[in-house]
Amino acid sequence: MKRRHIVGLVVIVAFIAYSFIAFQSSLTPYVSFAQAKSSTGAVQVRGVLANEKITVTENGKTIMFLLRDEAGEEVPVIYQGTKPEGLSQATSIVAVGKFQNGQFTAEKLLIKCPSKYQGSVKPS
């Protein structure tokens, strides 16, 4: 084989390996809080509000609430960002982040609100 072919093949293999590693690191699996405590990377925890108390700081940039996962464990969630619409009416919340210092620090919140999925009823 010519030297150019070998170099080209090495570049292609390196690109494929890098792409695979990058794809694997971008995956965030759904786990329970028990599993999130032992995880070192970012994970997704699906749950519901454990109570109706949602605390927002004075500047409105930090939100704190209690989330109950599907296993029934309740953990405080801290989110840096503005309060998502429909958080208090959410039927399901997915918190993406890491478990740190006895609480779940969320980088992202995904809210499923029933009002988004209800159609308007037209009288007959």
Which CATH number fits the domain that encloses residue 46? 2.40.50.140
Contact status, residue 48 vs residue 92, Cβ threshold 8 Å: yes
Tell whether 124 is covered by a domain.
no
Q: Let me know whether 41 and 88 are in one domain.
A: yes
Q: Which residue range is the domain that position 40 belongs to?
A: 31-116
Higher-confidence residue of 76 and 86: namely 76
**pLDDT tens per residue across span 11-65:** 999 999 888 887 766 666 788 888 889 888 888 999 999 888 889 888 878 999 9
pTM: 0.69
Percent of the chain beyond pLDDT 90?
35
Strand-pairing partners, residue 98, are 105
How far from 93 is each of 19, 34, 50, CA to CA, in Å? 30, 17, 11
